[in-house]
Amino acid sequence: MCLPGCMSQVRERLEREHTTKTTHTTTQTTTQTTTQTQPPSSRRARRGFLKQAFLGSFAALGAATGVALSSEALAMEEGKAREEGKARKKRMLRRGIRKVVDLTHTFSPAFPTYFGTTGITLNKIADYDKVKYNLYRYEMLEHAGTHLDAPLHFSKDGLSAAEIPAQQLIVPLIKVDLRAKAEQNPDAQLTVEDLKAWEKKHGKIPPRCCVAMDSGWGRHVSTKKFRNADDKGAMHFPGFHAETADFLINDRGASGIAVDTLSLDHGPSSDFAMHYAWLPQGKWGVECLANLEQIPAKGAVLVAGVQKFEGGTGGPTRAIALM
């Protein structure tokens, strides 16, 4: 999610949080120095993120491209991730990519946005009928349409969209079916229990994967139900519960999460708890995915091709699933 001006609020909030956190651990630290000091957790997250860059998606990358991987790379993978990566690579090399699903909505000025403002304004500055070529100049919200939230979106010094290594954006993709729960309650949240229920059926969540929430909300994209705002303006759609962040980061080592709604947090959230629990840890998230009903619960590879603007806090993304 995003709104012009909201980043200043986010920054203030983050600085407050950093202040609180650092003051908690070093009681003598003053507010002034705290806000100027890079938080250790953030530094660790940034280092860890970069360190994982090559490792992170090697299995998925190999599987998706059929590129022969070096023995050093293989040596760097550990445990189950290695075994799963090898198996996946073998399968894909043997049979090739059988199916490609575009998980991206077509973006337009009419596309719903988190704050209800227009996401993109297009001005045609060259017309084929007149000059024999077409060209637009456009102005758009950074976080609108199918797009990626970079760590920098909700942290002071996290990686920008341009700094996320490309290898980290090609990852195994799993899908958690939240449709029944969302049908009953539009404010439903994907919980640790939902993730454990998925694991009972499909096995352990693979490390460095992207976990996608399929709430069925993608089918509402052309209606008011997508934002589902009430009389007071509060929105009602599903999202990730903030408690899943700790589980996915520390117990499963996931790289990204994705939703078919407007926000990683569920609609009524006013504190963006999941955004704050997830993105500052060097993780990314994709919002407004389409066509999740066309991919399996496991076995797909996600290519999250976010635009590479310098300093971008995220941006429009062509999300593609390979199977």
In the complex, the residues that contact Zn ion under the rule CB under 5 A are: 1, 143, 149, 287
Q: Which of 207, 211, 198 is nearest to 274 (CA)?
A: 211
Residue 37: CB partners within 8 Å, gap ≥ 6? 22, 29
162-177: burial string, b at 16+ Cβ within 10 Å, e else: ebbeebbbbbbbbbbb
Shortest distance in whole angstroms from residue 130 CB to Zn ion: 37
Shortest distance in whole angstroms from residue 286 CB to Zn ion: 9
Shortest distance in whole angstroms from residue 231 CB to Zn ion: 25
Q: What is the Cα–Cα distance from 283 to 296, expressed in whole angstroms?
A: 23
Shortest distance in whole angstroms from residue 61 CB to Zn ion: 25
Determine which helix (DSSP H) or strand (DSSP E) holds 43, and give its type and residue range: helix 40-56
Q: Which two tokens stand for residue 263?
A: 């926000």
Determine which helix (DSSP H) or strand (DSSP E) holds 195, and give its type and residue range: helix 192-202
- Cβ-count burial of 142 within 10 angstroms (0-12 exposed, 13-18 middle, 19+ buried)? buried
Q: What is the Cα–Cα distance from 183 to 291, expressed in whole angstroms?
A: 17
Q: Which two tokens stand for residue 308?
A: 């590479």
Shortest distance in whole angstroms from residue 22 CB to Zn ion: 27
Q: Which CB sits closer to Zn ion, 62 or 280?
A: 280
108 phi and psi angles, rounded to 5 deg: -160, 170
Shortest distance in whole angstroms from residue 310 CB to Zn ion: 18
Shortest distance in whole angstroms from residue 216 CB to Zn ion: 20
Q: What is the CA radius of gyration of the chain?
A: 20
Q: Which CB sits closer to Zn ion, 1 or 164?
A: 1
Q: Which CB sits closer to Zn ion, 88 or 275?
A: 275
Residue nearest to Zn ion (CB): 143
Strands (E), the chain: 100-102, 120-126, 135-140, 147-149, 170-177, 189-190, 210-214, 239-240, 256-259, 284-287, 300-306, 314-322
Shortest distance in whole angstroms from residue 147 CB to Zn ion: 6
